[in-house]
Structure 1
Amino acid sequence: MSNINETMKLKDILFKVPAATGVFREIDIDFVNHGDRTLKEAHEEGNFNLENILYELNELDKERIDGIDVSYMDQISIIKYIERKYYEDLLDELPVLNDYVEKLSKQYKKEDVEYDKAAELFYNIYREMTVHIETEQSDVYPLLLTYYEENSDVVYEALKPHITRLLDEHKNIVNWFKQIRSLTNGYTPVDSNEPLNVFVMKKLEENEENIMTLLHLENNLLFTPFR
């Protein structure tokens, strides 16, 4: 048992049990932008059975992402970890997946599904994340490395407007994924016998999981001094 309780902050639950991201996403808990909220506070604003969720969280194996416990990593290591684990794959995969999502929306355009709206939302995510990653790699992360190495007030002030903009982008991305999840009934294919339908829903869910975890690490570890 992991001894998760209702007074723990969402971000601390995730650091202790990374697999909790799946539980939180399923019940629409925004752990990216509200990581400082306790599970009890999330319950008071949400619509889920707290006792059941606590049981589920405590039954989860304490599996670390890639066997790595990020809660013991310093900020410099986190920056390098994010770049290595997420950035190259996302920049390669997002444009390809965007094409598949558009293809799926055209295939089901005449039927009673809302893949066209989901396609528009995913295009927003693809566009935002691409610029987001490029900006962080070229401007923000080098400054963050300097800030955490030198604790410089000058660098801190230079970073603040960048971080403020990135935090706003995080809110947009979380909201767009929430809408896609709703439009697709939790990424459930409307035709489980159609390979493209099954593939796209699976990849959309995988991308949400990866991107939400990435944004969680930024908001609740890297960007904490600037929030």
Structure 2
Amino acid sequence: MTQFTVNTQVSDIVTALPQSADLFRNLRIDYCCGGKISLEEAAGQRNLDAFEVLKDLHSIEEKQEARGSLEPSKFGEKTLIAYIQEKYHAGLREELPLLAPYITKLARVHGENHSHLLRVQEIFKLLRAELLDHTDDEDLNVFPLIIDFLANPTPEMKEKLRPHVVELEAEHDNAGQLLHELREITDNFTPPEEACGTYRLVYARLEQLEKETFEHVHLENNILFDRIRQAV
């Protein structure tokens, strides 16, 4: 069993134990863009007992060891990139256009009495554009460079990749900020008691979008990009 402590970085915990992402998400602990801090510090920022969180982590770890499942963090670079493309990039291209009409309808029907829904619509439009542009850039430009570099790492190639990685991480950070705002203004994606089916559908799917985007960003920031930084 991996010996996590309160001094272990949150991003390292999720790298070693991806299922811990669900726990951190529920506790509203940032494990992707802001994950390079200790569990103790992250818990303290949320007024949580770090040792209680650690206990929950060990419970998750025990269940996963019993299952003996493969984890993306253990994949080679080509397999990891293919996994990201198939699970997250393809998923975004399918889900974002499908979700858009529901959000438009929700803002149109309920925006007058629930004004925050107009901001939800604005944020979604920004996220949709940014995430789709981002994934296209990765698939067409950056991922092929990464595969070439990690197969034959050279200082020159690393320097060529560096600005791409910096830009992608900045875009990840911006998407994370938009998702955090979505969670804040929707009261943790909690619809009002009298909410209609569309209202509840939109909130549920936005929460799923947040979950999968954070998982996606974690695999890139804390695993794939870290491998680039450690090479050469």
TM-score (norm 1): 0.89
**Of residues 217, 222, 225 in structure 1, which corresponds to 2:224?**
222
Letter in 2 for 1:72: K
CA RMSD of aligned residues (A): 2.2
Per the alignment, residue 52 of structure 2 pairs with 52
Matched, 1:73 2:54: no
Letter in 1 for 2:224: L
Cα deviation for residue 50 of structure 1 reads 2.0
Matched, 1:122 2:124: yes
Per the alignment, residue 145 of structure 2 pairs with 143
* Cα distance in 1 between the residues matched to 2:125 and 2:213: 14
Letter in 1 for 2:154: S
* Cα distance in 1 between the residues matched to 2:207 and 2:65: 19
- Residue ranges of structure 2 left out of the alignment (5+ in a row): none
- Asked whether the equivalents of residues 19 and 63 of structure 1 are also in contact (C-alpha less than 8 Å), the reply is no
1:18 alignment partner, SS class: coil
Letter in 2 for 1:184: T
Per the alignment, residue 210 of structure 2 pairs with 208
Residue deviations 1:14-64 (CA, integer Å, cap 9, x gap): 133322212222333221123332201223444323233223222323289
Residue deviations 1:51-103 (CA, integer Å, cap 9, x gap): 33223222323289xx4312322222211111121211211111221232222
1:223 alignment partner, SS class: helix
Letter in 2 for 1:29: I
Per the alignment, residue 27 of structure 1 pairs with 27
- Range with greater deviation from structure 2 (76-85 or 18-27): 18-27
* Cα distance in 2 between the residues matched to 1:63 and 1:118: 39
* Cα distance in 1 between the residues matched to 2:219 and 2:101: 28
Per the alignment, residue 176 of structure 2 pairs with 174
* Cα distance in 2 between the residues matched to 1:180 and 1:33: 16
Letter in 2 for 1:147: F
* Cα distance in 2 between the residues matched to 1:103 and 1:58: 43
Residue deviations 1:160-197 (CA, integer Å, cap 9, x gap): 11111111111111111111011111111124651111
Letter in 2 for 1:154: E
Per the alignment, residue 163 of structure 1 pairs with 165
* Equivalences for residues 5-16 of structure 1 within 5 A: 5-16=5-16
* Cα distance in 1 between the residues matched to 2:184 and 2:130: 20
* Cα distance in 2 between the residues matched to 1:55 and 1:144: 37
CA distance change for structure 1 residues 146 and 175 in 2, over 3 Å: closer, same or farther? same
* Cα distance in 2 between the residues matched to 1:198 and 1:124: 21
> Which has the larger share of helix?
2
- Residue ranges of structure 1 left out of the alignment (5+ in a row): none
CA distance change for structure 1 residues 112 and 83 in 2, over 3 Å: closer, same or farther? closer
2:64 alignment partner, SS class: coil
- Asked whether the equivalents of residues 70 and 78 of structure 1 are also in contact (C-alpha less than 8 Å), the reply is yes
Q: Taking every aligned residue pair, what percent have the same amino acid on both sides?
A: 27
* Equivalences for residues 186-205 of structure 1 within 5 A: 186-191=188-193, 194-205=196-207
Per the alignment, residue 92 of structure 2 pairs with 90
Letter in 2 for 1:23: L
* Cα distance in 1 between the residues matched to 2:92 and 2:51: 36
* Cα distance in 1 between the residues matched to 2:2 and 2:120: 36
* Cα distance in 2 between the residues matched to 1:36 and 1:73: 21
- Asked whether the equivalents of residues 28 and 178 of structure 1 are also in contact (C-alpha less than 8 Å), the reply is no
* Cα distance in 1 between the residues matched to 2:35 and 2:77: 17
- Asked whether the equivalents of residues 16 and 62 of structure 1 are also in contact (C-alpha less than 8 Å), the reply is no
Aligned residues: 225
